[in-house]
Amino acid sequence: MRGDVSLSHDAEKDKKLQANIKRDKNAVFSTDVLVNHSATEFRVTFFDTWITQPGPGGGITQSKDVVAEVVLTPAHFKALCSAMSENLKRYESRFGEVTMPKPRMAQPGPRDQTESAAYG
């Protein structure tokens, strides 16, 4: 299947991108996301949290399924952030402000030098 996709930058408003949509790929629903980065890549992991229950010591335990993971170069990640920011501004001007949950910062792992931020 082919479809037209509008580019996000104002200078390129009139340009269209032809994209082949693979039929074996389905849209996924995500309730949580984790963003990790190293010196060479950004990794965006999308989760669906399907059960939350009381955990030991008064905390909570969540069961999550990874529904998608995308690895991007730093330049592509920055372009994605820009496109998402622009689209969010358009959305909020039409439908009102979206409130953000407070991020839960994860600690860098001992084996790698990545940093993480989780939302959800």
Contact 24, 109 (CB under 8 A): no
With H, G, I as helix, E, B as strand and everything else as coil, classify residue 8: coil
**Spatial separation of the C-alpha atoms in residues 11 and 8, rounded to whole Å:** 9
pLDDT class for 120, splitting at 50, 70, 90? low
Domain positions in the chain are 29-119
- 115 pLDDT tier (thresholds 50, 70, 90): low
Distance CA 94, CA 29 (A): 23
pLDDT digits (tens, 9 = 90+) for 68-113: 999 999 999 999 999 999 999 999 999 999 997 775 554 444 444 4
DSSP state of 24: T
Amino acid identity for residue 107 in this structure: Q
Average pLDDT over residues 6-19: 60
